Chain A
Amino acid sequence: GAGVSQSPSNKVTEKGKDVELRCDPISGHTALYWYRQSLGQGLEFLIYFQGNSAPDKSGLPSDRFSAERTGGSVSTLTIQRTQQEDSAVYLCASSLEGQKNQPQHFGDGTRLSIL
Chain B
Amino acid sequence: GNSVTQMEGPVTLSEEAFLTINCTYTATGYPSLFWYVQYPGEGLQLLLKATKADDKGSNKGFEATYRKETTSFHLEKGSVQVSDSAVYFCALSDRGADGLTFGKGTHLIIQP
Contact = CB atoms under 8 A, between A and B. Distances in A.
Interface of A: 31, 33, 35, 42-43, 45-46, 48, 50, 55-56, 59, 91, 93, 95, 97-109
B89 A43 contact: yes
Contacts of A98: 96-97
B32 A101 contact: yes
Contacts of B104: 42
Contacts, number: 61
Contact of A109 (B43, B95, B103): B43
B43 A48 contact: no
Q: Chain B interface secondary structure, helix, strand, loop or mixed? A: mixed
Nearest to A91: B44
Interface in B63-95: 89, 93-95
A38 to B, nearest CB: 11
Interface residues of B, number: 25
Interface string B92-112: 011111111111110000000
A107 B98 contact: no
Nearest to B104: A42
Nearest to A46: B99
B57 to A, nearest CB: 10
A76 to B, nearest CB: 18
A100 B101 contact: no
A9 to B, nearest CB: 10
